[in-house]
């Protein structure tokens, strides 16, 4: 048994639909601009760009129903509704044809973003870490195991609502790089490990959540995650 000099950090984890067990979270990878309509709303040409990635710390995950303080250093916190992929079997240079066999399950996630800070970072050609990877920036609902629920169909609807008003609505087949391609690309950059999460990008309609509002991301067949800003 290793003796640690300070108490070892708690293992971040997510709920699993229909089970008392929890899914241990290792790292969180996020795909940028993976829906053409969102790439356009951010001023980019979706046809010319291969997928790119950024990360959030594993302990940025929070579950469904969390009430969180409005994050510091921003006046423009945005929601981004995303399909979350939970990796069960790691690997590197995974072929797209094999990629889905590495997926343990899926969930509904919200890539919370300090948009004013991100815009400034883009202007100054600085990294996105602090605009994307802040504390409690990765709300994620219960995970749905592939073994029980299968893979979500392309027709599955993904929506975001803020205080009940729909702000984002699309279907999973609108992703520029589907899940298998995302895993193939990402595993060429890093060796994927069990417990890694991938937030797969957001459709058009990203926008602000104000203090006091509740934001819900829902995906057909994969439940929902609601986050309230207090």
- Site for Mn ion, rule CB under 5 A: 80, 111, 202
Shortest Cβ 4–Mn ion spacing (Å):
34
Nearest to Mn ion of 168, 213 (CB atom): 168
Q: Looking up tokens 């609902």, which residue turns up?
A: 141
Strand bridging mode 28-32 / 197-199 = parallel
Written as six digits, the tokens of 217 are 């991301």
Burial class (CB in 10 A: 0-12, 13-18, 19+), 204: middle
In the bound complex, what is the minimum distance in angstroms from residue 45's beta carbon to Mn ion? Answer: 18
- Minimum CB separation of residue 81 from Mn ion in Å reads 9
The answer to whether the beta carbons of residues 106 and 151 sit under 8 Å apart is yes
Q: State the Cα–Cα distance between residues 82 and 199, nearest whole angstrom.
A: 6
Q: Indicate the residue among 64 and 80 with the shorter CB distance to Mn ion.
A: 80
With respect to Mn ion, which residue has the nearer C-beta, 64 or 111? 111
For 186, the token pair is 């990402």
User: Residue 181 CB, nearest distance to Mn ion (Å)?
Assistant: 17
Q: List own/partner pairs for 10-14 with CB under 8 A and 24 or more apart.
A: 10/59, 12/58, 12/59, 12/61, 13/61, 14/61, 14/63, 14/86, 14/107, 14/140, 14/142, 14/143
Indicate the DSSP class of residue 95: -
Q: By C-beta, is 91 or 174 nearer to Mn ion?
A: 174
- From CA 207, how far away is CA 41, in angstroms rounded? 11
Smallest gap from Cβ 116 to Mn ion, in A, equals: 16
Q: Which two tokens stand for residue 29?
A: 């990878």
Give the shortest CB-71-to-Mn ion separation in angstroms.
16
Nearer Cβ to Mn ion, position 168 or 202?
A: 202
Closest-by-Cβ residue to Mn ion is: 111
Between 98 and 169, CB nearer to Mn ion: 169
């Amino acid at each position: 048994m290793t003796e640690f000099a300070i108490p070892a950090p708690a293992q971040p984890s997510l709920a699993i639909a229909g089970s008392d067990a929890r899914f241990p979270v290792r790292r969180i990878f996020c795909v940028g601009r993976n829906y053409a309509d969102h790439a356009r709303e951010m001023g980019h040409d979706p046809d010319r760009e291969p997928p790119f990635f950024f990360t959030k710390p594993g302990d940025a995950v929070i579950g469904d129903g969390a009430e969180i303080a409005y994050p510091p250093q921003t006046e423009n916190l945005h929601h981004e509704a995303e399909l979350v992929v939970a990796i069960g079997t790691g690997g590197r240079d995974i072929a797209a044809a094999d990629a889905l066999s590495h997926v343990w399950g899926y969930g509904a996630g919200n890539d919370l973003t300090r948009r004013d800070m991100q815009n400034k970072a883009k202007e100054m050609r600085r990294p996105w870490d602090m605009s994307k990877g802040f504390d409690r920036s990765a709300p994620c609902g219960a995970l749905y195991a592939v073994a029980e629920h299968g893979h979500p169909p392309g027709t599955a609807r993904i929506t975001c609502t803020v205080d009940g008003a729909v702000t984002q609505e699309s279907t999973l087949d609108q992703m520029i790089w589907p899940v298998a391609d995302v895993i193939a690309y990402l595993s060429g950059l890093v060796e994927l490990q069990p417990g890694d999460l991938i937030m797969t990008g957001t459709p058009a309609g990203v926008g602000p959540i104000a203090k006091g509002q509740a934001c819900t991301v829902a995906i057909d067949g994969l439940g929902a995650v609601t986050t309230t800003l207090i």
